[in-house]
Chains A and B, each alone.
Chain A
Amino acid sequence: MRERAERFAVPLGLVTTVSVLIVVFYYPVGNVFADAVSSDGRPTLAPILDVLTDPFYTGIAHHIFTDPLGVPAGIIQWFLAVELSPSGLDLPPTSIGLFGFTAYQAALSTVASVALGLPGAYLLSRYEFPGRHTIRSLTILPFVLPGIMVAVGFLAMFGRNGLFNDVLAVVGLGPVEALFTLEIVVVAHAFYNAPLVTRLVTTAWESVDRRQVETARSMGATPFRAFRDVVVPQLLPSLLTASLLTFVFTFMTFPIVLALGGLQLATVEVWLYARVQNLELTEAAALGTIETVISLGLTYLYLRYEARQVATGRAGPSLARRQLVDGVRSLRDPRRLAIAAYGVVVLVVFVGPLLSMVVESVTGPGGEFTFEYYRFLLAQQTSSAIGTTRPLPAIVNSLLFGVGTLVLALPMGIVVAVVANRDVTGSRGAEAVLSAPLAVSGIVVGLGLLQTLVFGTVLFDYRITVLGPSAIVFAHAVAAYPFVTRNVAPALGGLDPRLVDAARSLGASRFRSLLDVELPLVASGVVAGAAFAFAISVGEFDSTVLLAEGVDSYTMPVALERYIGNRSLGPSLGAATAMGTVLLGVTAGSFVVIDRVGGRWQP
């Protein structure tokens, strides 16, 4: 009986995963996208072509769609207009359109995130220092912060009178006018996404088998050669995964752009949001479809590449860590000095804004120290007025939804990772399609959930709505499981297939060998995936507010959002920053617990 159950465990898991996806993702999102490709039941490309042929959206590229034959002549004309002047090349003005600019800033943000995240992975996986475990757990903290809190932190840190300029002034530099520039938007994107790079690459680096490097070295490879030929190929998939995710996320970035950069730096998502607000849903659907096609296309190309990577990993002891501080000699070691410089950058970009937000929560309008905002939270907690948002239920709901999401997203993500690693034609295509939750704009998902699950669907004369806490957990799990997959799939793919074959030949079911052989070997990926799943759930806002039944299913970010609108302490974000600090504290604690508990299963 048990054996039979085990034999069907993986297929059953896949069927369950796909069913959940259909109900809370494909059906709602398809409902929105249908608007872009059909009109009165007939297929049409008009809405999408309207966008593609509009120079506002696609810049000069709109010629490709309006006059494809004229493109070569246009390019020649453009080159002819290039002039050599004393100051260098004079390029004729080129309009890149909203899509071009969105891709450009996403590319810059990806480069910045890698540049800021990669040294962190090196430090965390190759050096030993007190608090390393805790810091590793806390790396994904920025992930859960609502955009408005990041804006508050960045304003206090990089504003005209911010801490950064204060410090610069002490050294006789500055002031830097950072706000309303593309640079500050890119740095804010790196604040969100560099931790993704750090976490994913650290996981990969820690699972590099020490013995492989030792073998290479004993065969005469220089340390550099061993690094290039043994370590780098094993890091590359995780680094590229992280870059891809960063690009996709920042391509669909929304609140932070206008909060720090202003409308001049608007992205496609800003327009998509405005279309939805204005209920011009066809154009919104067209914009969302194009965004998703681009994101999914990139994801598919990447997965194809990943599949071609030769499996080199083998489970074994990780590389030995060096002591970070090595007495006075540390001061002469260029590597350790570089790490110290990196530490300063981390202080400025990550710790600075977070700390600034915490400081704002105890600073009154006149700059004085105050506990007023925390008293406000307490007053909300003890109030009996209907409609009051209380902090404690928000914390409890967030934790419950987070744990629920983790419990659901882990098996979903692992099942999809297993499917993705089967050597069957189309398995990568299947993973790309199953990764779609990453590639669809949050605004589109929200709109879809509203139109289907919230408003209800008429089936056999009954209007069926899917609402309440379990719907929230399902929606969170769907948003979260691709992170589990992306953490686990490369590691699973890297395992020696002979390990599974051996287990199967000894009579273990596919499920048994997965549970007893493979998963323990990729445990660090599973734990990292779990932490991401929890983080996604805690930070989620859009579907939480939509699927909440009644007014009591609010979470910490929802409470924070409501405190922003609360004017009882005057027009101040103080109460929200106090809630933001609570959010930070609670999630920081949770991440440490997840890593500690998860660490027990790691070999």
Chain B
Amino acid sequence: MERRRFLRNAGAGIVGVSAFAGCSSPGGDDERPSRTESGTGTTTGAATTTSLGGTLRVATYSSFTGEGTAGNWLKSAFESEYPDATVEFTTPENGLNQYIQRANEGAPIEADLYVGLNTGELVRADEQLDDPLFQSLSEDVAGVDGIKDGLQVDPEGRAIPYDTGYISLVYDENEVEQPETFDALLEPAYEGDLIVQNAQQSDPGRAFLLWTILAKGVDGYLDYWQGLQDNGVRIMSDWNPSYEAYMNDEAPMIVSYSTDQVYYHGEGVDMAKHQVGFLNDQGYANPEAMAMFSSASNGDLGRRFVEFVLSEEAQAQIADLNVQFPAVEGVEMDEEFTRYAYEPPEPVTFTYEELAGNVSTWIEDWARQVASK
């Protein structure tokens, strides 16, 4: 109890200052020393100072790291904040499954944090394992309260969202009128016009399927999809090949992200092909979260890292580099992003509790209906 309060205070100190640093961004270098000082100033204990060094092993997906990525920025910003700390990325090809399976087989986890977790994966981890893979963070990490309400997906505070995308339609206004509702997609006018992705393997595909379940109910979504199938919906493997097909004019509508225009604007770009359409005035939020493994060996540094990611400066940078929306309320984004990235009037998403025990069945029933021969 004592320790918790202590940590929370320490965290509050850091976030308070980093928000300030975020505002006076260009001269950030001057603020850095004072920022660390105030951080250690509140946390007087010698134990904490020593624990704020060492190596933090962050497991993530491969495009989070490398030249010009959010991971790269985070690493250098965090390391200059904590000069004794080193952030090491590891990028297992099969993502979180690598760690669920390791835990299942009793193999060492070899990472402290996981970055890039979605709600469905957390559900899977819990269904597969008897002992929790992740530990609760929300009590010990400052800044969690600032996360947007609709994105608080995990009631146990293990998965901490750091950014989110909104699934929407992207359509070519030269070819089709914007469909306003899910029902509109069943009209003959849209026959053969929609490309979606396979919910078994693609993030946006899965989000779109879940969105139809929210809209049509567990009892109604399969009938709705039968209607979509009868109207010639195309279900491709992954986002990349499907977007390639969309850009090659195979169909005038695709399930994609509401940030599409951030990539496509400016001179000589045909914006007609990059119109963002929300159905039923909704967009399905697909928050990306981070979580700390129960077996983390450098927990204190991990918590500081999570706090750092939630700081205003980092939130703006990550959102910018990932082309996603910040997870924290009230983060100032640059003008270009604000202008071209659309937030749905009503963001919707399933929480952990709603998905638990259901999501595999929902997807399997859907896939069987589509692929039945």
B-contacting residues of A (Cβ < 8 Å)? 56, 59, 95-98, 100-101, 148, 151-152, 155-156, 159-162, 179-180, 255, 258-259, 262-264, 266, 270-271, 273-274, 276-280, 365-366, 379-380, 383, 385-389, 450-451, 455-456, 463, 545-546, 551, 562, 564-568, 570-571, 573
Q: Which residue of B lies closest to A151 (CB)?
A: B241
From the candidates B72, B248, B323, B373, name the one contacting A386 in the complex (CB within 8 A): B72
Docked Cα-Cα span, A566 to B200, in Å, equals 22
Given A279-B97, A565-B62, 4 new contacts (CB under 8 A): A274-B367, A365-B247, A463-B107, A566-B63
Bound: A151/B247 CA distance, A = 14
What is the CB-to-nearest-CB distance from A260 to chain B, in angstroms, rounded to a whole number? 8
Distance in angstroms between the alpha carbons of A97 and B264 in the assembled complex: 43
CA distance A262 to B66 in the complex (A): 32
**A385-B101 contact in complex given A151-B241, A160-B248, A365-B264, C-beta closer than 8 Å:** no
Contacts A159-B250, A450-B94, A456-B107: A385 and B245 contacting too (C-beta < 8 A)? no
- Given A159-B248, A263-B370, verify A180-B101 contact (CB < 8 Å): no
Q: Which residue of A98, A155, A450 contacts B98 across the interface (Cβ within 8 Å)?
A: A450
Of all A-B residue pairs in the complex, the 7 with the closest CB atoms, nearest first, are: A387-B65, A565-B63, A258-B237, A455-B107, A263-B235, A570-B263, A383-B67
* A155 partner, pick from B69, B237, B245, beta carbons under 8 A: B245
B47 part of interface (Cβ distance < 8 Å): no
Q: Within the complex, which residue of A264, A276, A463 is in contact with B235, where a contact is CB–CB below 8 Å?
A: A264
Binds A, one of B3-11, B36-44, B85-93, B330-338: B85-93
Q: What are the residues of chain B within 8 A of A271 when measuring CB–CB?
A: 367, 371
With A161-B249, A278-B124 already in contact, the answer to whether A148 and B240 are too (CB < 8 A) is yes
Q: Which of B71, B97, B236, B371 makes the CB contact (< 8 A) with A387?
A: B71
Taking CB atoms and an 8 Å cut-off, the chain B residues in 69-107 that contact chain A are: 69, 71-72, 75, 89-91, 93-94, 97-98, 100-102, 105, 107
Q: In the complex, which range does the number of interface residues on chain B fall in?
A: 35 or more
A450 pairs with B101, CB closer than 8 A = yes
What are the residues of chain A within 8 A of B198 when measuring CB–CB?
Answer: 258, 263
Task: Give, as a whole number of angstroms, the nearest-CB distance from A449 to chain B.
Answer: 11
Q: How far is the CA of A205 from the CA of B372 in the complex (A)?
A: 43
Shortest C-beta distance, B138 to chain A (Å), equals 26
By the criterion CB–CB under 8 Å, are B244 and A386 in contact?
Answer: no
Chain A residues positioned under 8 Å from B71 (CB to CB): 387
Residues of A within 8 A of B124 (CB): 278-279
Q: Are A387 and B101 in contact (CB under 8 A)?
A: no
A551 and B236 in contact, given A159-B248, A279-B101 (Cβ under 8 angstroms)? no
In the complex, per-residue mask of B339-370: 1 if CB is within 8 Å of any chain A CB, else 0 = 00000000000000000000010000001101
B244 with A151: CB separation less than 8 A? yes
Partner of B66, one of A259, A389, A570: A389
**Do the beta carbons of A100 and B269 come within 8 Å of each other?**
no
Verify B66–A388 contact, CB threshold 8 A: yes
Contacts from B to A (Cβ < 8 Å) = 61-63, 65-69, 71-72, 75, 89-91, 93-94, 97-98, 100-102, 105, 107-108, 124, 128, 198, 200-201, 229, 234-238, 240-241, 243-245, 247-250, 260, 263-264, 268-270, 322-323, 360, 367-368, 370-373
Chain A residues whose C-beta falls within 8 Å of the C-beta of B240 in the assembled complex: 148, 564, 571, 573
Closest approach, in angstroms, between the C-beta of B229 and any C-beta of chain A?
8
Give complex CA distance A179, B100 in Å: 37
- Report how far A105 CA is from B260 CA in the complex, Å: 36
Q: Which residues of B contact A262 (CB under 8 A)?
A: 234-236
Complex contact A387–B105 (CB within 8 A): no
Question: Chain B residues near A565 (CB, 8 Å)?
Answer: 61-63
Instruction: Please tell me which one of the listed residues B72, B237, B247, B268 contacts residue A259 in the complex, with CB atoms under 8 A apart.
Output: B237
Pick 7 A–B contacts, CB within 8 A, sort by A: A151-B244, A258-B201, A263-B371, A277-B97, A385-B69, A386-B66, A450-B98
Complex contacts, B93 vs chain A, CB 8 Å = 545-546
Decide if A386 touches B235 in the complex (CB within 8 Å): no
Question: How far is B69's CA from A280's CA once the two chains are assembled, in angstroms?
Answer: 33
B63 CB contacts on chain A under 8 angstroms: 562, 565-567
User: Do A366 and B128 contact each other (CB < 8 Å), given the known contacts A59-B373, A451-B101?
Assistant: no
Q: Chain B nearest CB: distance from A401 CB in Å? A: 17
Instruction: Establish whether residues B245 and A179, one from each chain, have CB atoms under 8 Å apart when the complex forms.
Output: yes
* Bound CA span A258–B94, Å: 19
Residues of A contacting B370 in the complex (Cβ-Cβ under 8 angstroms): 263-264, 266
Report the bound CA distance from A152 to B98 in whole Å: 29
Q: Report yes or no: B66 in contact with A385, Cβ–Cβ below 8 A.
A: yes
Whether the pair B67, A380 counts as a contact (CB closer than 8 A) is yes
Chain A nearest Cβ from B72, distance in angstroms? 5
Residue of B nearest to A376 (CB): B67
Residues of B contacting A366 in the complex (Cβ-Cβ under 8 angstroms): 268-270
| Residues of A contacting B373 in the complex (Cβ-Cβ under 8 angstroms) | 59, 95-98, 100-101
Q: Shortest beta-carbon distance, A202 to chain B, in Å?
A: 33
Cβ-neighbour of A385 out of B72, B94, B264 (below 8 A): B72
Interchain CA distance A482-B101 in the complex, whole Å: 31
Given contacts A155-B250, A277-B200, A366-B269, contact A387 B91 (CB under 8 A): yes
In this complex, the member of A152, A385, A389 whose beta carbon has the largest number of chain B beta carbons within 10 angstroms is: A385
CA distance A426 to B69 in the complex (A): 57
Q: Contacting A274 at CB < 8 Å: which of B66, B75, B201, B249?
A: B201
- Shortest CB–CB separation between residue B95 and chain A, in angstroms? 9
A161 near B65 (CB under 8 angstroms)?
Answer: no
Question: What separation, in Å, do the CA atoms of A393 and B326 have in the docked complex?
Answer: 35
Please give me the residue from chain A that is nearest to B249 by CB atom.
A161
- In the complex, what residues of B have CB within 8 A of residue A546's CB? 93
A588 to B89, CA, bound (A): 34
Chain A residues with Cβ below 8 Å from B200 are 263, 270, 273-274, 277-278
Q: Which A-chain residue is minimally distant from B259 (CB atoms)? A: A571
Contacts of A386 in B (CB 8 A): 65-66, 72, 75, 89
* C-alpha spacing A106/B235, complex, angstroms: 21
Chain A residues closer than 8 Å to B247, beta-carbon distance? 365
Distance of A98 Cα from B372 Cα, bound (Å):
7
Across the interface, which residues of B come within 8 angstroms of A148, CB to CB? 240-241
Residues of B within 8 A of A56 (CB): 368, 372
Contacts of A179 in B (CB 8 A): 245, 250
User: Given A264-B235, A277-B201, A388 and B128 touching (CB < 8 A)?
Assistant: no
For B244, give its contact among A155, A379, A450, A551 (CB under 8 Å). A155
Which of B72, B234, B240 has its CB near the most chain A CB atoms (within 10 A)? Answer: B240
Are A567 and B323 in contact (CB-based, < 8 A)? yes
Looking across the interface, which residue of chain A has its beta carbon closest to that of B373?
A101
Q: Name the A residues within 8 Å of B360 (CB-CB).
A: 278, 280
Given the complex of chains A and B, what is the CA–CA distance between A162 and B124 in angstroms? 41
Contact residue among A98, A456, A566 (Cβ-Cβ distance under 8 Å from B371): A98
CA distance A101 to B372 in the complex (A): 10
Which residues of chain A are near B229, meaning CB under 8 Å?
264
Chain A hits for B94, CB < 8 A: 450
CA distance in complex: A562, B268 (Å)? 29
CA distance A264 to B366 in the complex (A): 11
Is there an interface contact between B67 and A451, defined as CB atoms closer than 8 Å? no
